[in-house]
Structure 1
Amino acid sequence: MALTHEPTVPHHSVQDALRVLETVARHPAGVTGTVLGRRTGLGPRRLAALLRMLRREGYVEQGADGSYVTGAALGRLGSAEGRQEALRATLQQTLDRLRDSVGAAVYLSRYVDGEVRVTQYAEGPATPAVHEWVDFRSAAHASAIGKSLLGQLDADGRRDHLARHRPARLTSRTITSERVLLSCLDAHPPTVPVLDLQEYAVGTVCAAVPITAGSAVGCVALSLPVEHAHRLRRAADRLNRGAAPLLLSLAI
């Protein structure tokens, strides 16, 4: 199943972050920021921002002399034993931080074996998760999560999914025409968050951005009560900028 997406903000950040990590790993005794900049070709401001993110995630550590070495989190994800548990814990920590940063419930989703799956999420008393009143697997046409995932499939993949899950009307805003839905997916810029404005559930608005690693299709999304709809686009942009650590964890 081919993908149609172009690199997004998280993808560009992760590509640069992986270059930094690879360079740090080649210097077990430590490497200075000056050498990192020279070896990676990244400018000082860009490199500093990436190093802050990598230190926060525990992928690199800075010694007393200012040099950088690989961190404990990188070792846990790089180990065959217990990797899945370490990955899930790392992703959950990042989702929790994103929830607090964007002020909304956030969700990590994948497209697995032809189905939409919400694999992890972070909510709280002030940021409740959306009520799954219709199985997300049957509502890809109406949810930001589903449309983001379908948007990353090729035309055959999209038609196959819609043949198995016919678009049903969930609210007055739901797109039920397969032709209109496919047209919308084709026209949507891959670097722009996908929005759901009460298409899945009355009273809820959502946004999603792709975080595809390799051939695995995925996205990270947020949901807000409709009374906070004025915050949706700003929260979606912040989600997009903050999604790089999730994709990095999946890519390592």
Structure 2
Amino acid sequence: MGAHNGPTLITSVQRAFRLLEAASAHENGAPAKQLAREAGLPLATAYHLLRTLAHDGYIRKLDDGGFVLGDKLQALQTAGRDQTLLSRVRPTLAALRDEFATATYLTFYEDGEIRVAEIVDGPRAPRVDLWVGFQDAGHATALGKSVLRELDDESRKEYLSRHTLNDLTPRTITSPAELLRRLDSSPVAPAVTDLEEYALGTVCVAVPVYSGDTLGALGVSLPVDRLSRIEEIRARLLPTASRVTRSLSLTI
């Protein structure tokens, strides 16, 4: 029974993939009969698989009865593209981690939020305890402040109108006006720092990066007793950020 079920399941998966491939060739949709013919499947089999794929969001049925690729498959394609891009820069992030024994972070500003895309750490370079998510701590992290520094005035105001500047440590800046003043007068621009503003005992430095038109930040965290190295690290971050931006902006 097991030997019989295995090949049957494999065959069903193969048929579903063939239908998806056929549907991908028709931007404006195609009827089940045409997809069945192009996939080399009996019409009844195609109907059954299309219903299943549509139920799970991999195929979408149009009002005219045609079928196109669904939102779920589009999301997988986007995620796959993002993973491919990140795979290009992980060696660069790891090299930075190994050189300075610092956890390395990459964030992006997407849909109005600052999101962590990658963290490269290790036994000698532990990451900071992310006890508050970056979406709620953009004002207190070097990575978040790097993004805010690069945004235009309208985008900054819009972001700050949606986020409360909570005092995460006694050093956290909680005044929007003071935060913007310090961002615009950063003595290490275009880099910015977080001097125990997110977590006591930890300092960070970050610089801007881009993935195409998407703004982000590259940064590192280190114990406060190594603060004296922050200028050396900043000097290395700038050319590294340029390499990361070039890698992320290449067409896949």
Q: TM class, shorter-chain normalised?
A: 0.5 to 0.7
Can you list the C-alpha shifts for 1:63-88, whole angstroms capped at 9, x where unaligned? xxxxxxxxxxxxxxxxx9x6544322
Computed over aligned residues only, the root mean square deviation of the Cα atoms, in angstroms, reads 1.9
Which residue in the other structure is 1:207 paired with? Answer: 205
Measure, in 2, the Cα distance between the counterparts of 1:102 and 1:240. 14
Which residue in the other structure is 1:167 paired with? Answer: 165
Measure, in 2, the Cα distance between the counterparts of 1:206 and 1:190. 13
SS at match of 1:211: strand
Aligned length: 172
Which residue in the other structure is 1:35 paired with? Answer: none
**Which of 84, 88, 91 is residue 90 of structure 1 equivalent to?**
88
Whether the 8 Å CA contact 2:190–2:208 is kept in 1: the answer is no
Measure, in 1, the Cα distance between the counterparts of 2:226 and 2:104. 15
Question: Residue 136 of structure 1: CA displacement?
Answer: 1.1
Can you list the C-alpha shifts for 1:176-231, whole angstroms capped at 9, x where unaligned? 11111122223337843101100111010000001124421111000001121121
Structure 2 unmatched ranges of 5 or more: 1-77
SS at match of 1:212: strand
Measure, in 1, the Cα distance between the counterparts of 2:197 and 2:102. 18
- Higher Cα Rg: structure 1 or 2? 2
Counterpart AA for 1:161: Y
Question: Residue 249 of structure 1: CA displacement?
Answer: 1.0
SS at match of 1:106: strand
Give the structure-1-normalised TM-score: 0.64
Instruction: Report the CA distance shift for 1:205/1:120 in structure 2 as closer, same or farther (over 3 A).
Output: same
Instruction: Report the CA distance shift for 1:101/1:227 in structure 2 as closer, same or farther (over 3 A).
Output: same
Single out whichever of 154-163 and 182-191 deviates more from structure 2. Answer: 182-191
**Which of 89, 106, 110 is residue 104 of structure 2 equivalent to?**
106
Whether the 8 Å CA contact 1:92–1:121 is kept in 2: the answer is no
Measure, in 2, the Cα distance between the counterparts of 1:131 and 1:145. 15
Counterpart AA for 2:156: R
Which residue in the other structure is 2:143 paired with? Answer: 145
Query: What stretches of structure 1 move > 4 A for 4+ residues in a row?
Result: none
RCO higher in structure (CA 8 A, sep ≥6): 1
Measure, in 2, the Cα distance between the counterparts of 1:214 and 1:90. 14
Instruction: Report the CA distance shift for 1:113/1:219 in structure 2 as closer, same or farther (over 3 A).
Output: same
Instruction: Tell me the percent identity.
Output: 44
Structure 1 residue 224 corresponds to structure 2 residue 218: no
Whether the 8 Å CA contact 1:142–1:196 is kept in 2: the answer is yes
Structure 1 unmatched ranges of 5 or more: 1-79
Single out whichever of 166-175 and 178-187 deviates more from structure 2. Answer: 178-187
**Which of 124, 129, 132 is residue 126 of structure 1 equivalent to?**
124
Give the structure-2-normalised TM-score: 0.64
